[in-house]
């Protein structure tokens, strides 16, 4: 299965969230090792990011910190 997700900064790392439906479908568990194929998505394209969901509070705090640079 394929999924689109947004990268977030957490501490000194960048993390990608695996959607719940993909976790359930693949039977993934915390601590399990998985292979991820990275493919950048162009931002121009109506509906290209459909399904990602709204920003979280952590995303908003990160964006506020970036605006001061």
Question: For the segment 9-36, what is each residue's pLDDT rounded down to a tens digit?
Answer: 999 999 988 889 889 999 999 999 999 8
d(CA 25, CA 48): 23
Indicate yes or no: pTM above 0.85. no
pLDDT in tens, 43-53: 665 555 666 76
Residue 36 within any structural domain of the chain: yes
Residue 61 within any structural domain of the chain: yes
Of 5, 53, 41, 3, the closest CA to residue 25 belongs to 3
Residue 55 within any structural domain of the chain: yes
d(CA 15, CA 43): 19
Domain boundaries, position 28: 7-66
Task: State residue 12 phi and psi, 5-degree precision.
Answer: -95, 5
Task: State residue 20 phi and psi, 5-degree precision.
Answer: -55, -45
DSSP secondary structure code for residue 49 in this structure: T
Structural domain total, the chain:
1
């Amino acid at each position: 299965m394929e999924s689109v997700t947004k990268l977030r900064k957490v501490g000194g790392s960048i993390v990608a969230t695996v959607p719940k439906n993909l976790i359930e479908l693949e039977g993934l568990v915390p601590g399990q090792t998985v292979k991820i194929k990275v493919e950048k998505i162009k931002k121009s394209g109506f509906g290209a990011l459909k399904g990602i969901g709204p920003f979280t509070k952590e995303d908003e705090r990160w964006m506020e910190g970036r605006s001061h640079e």
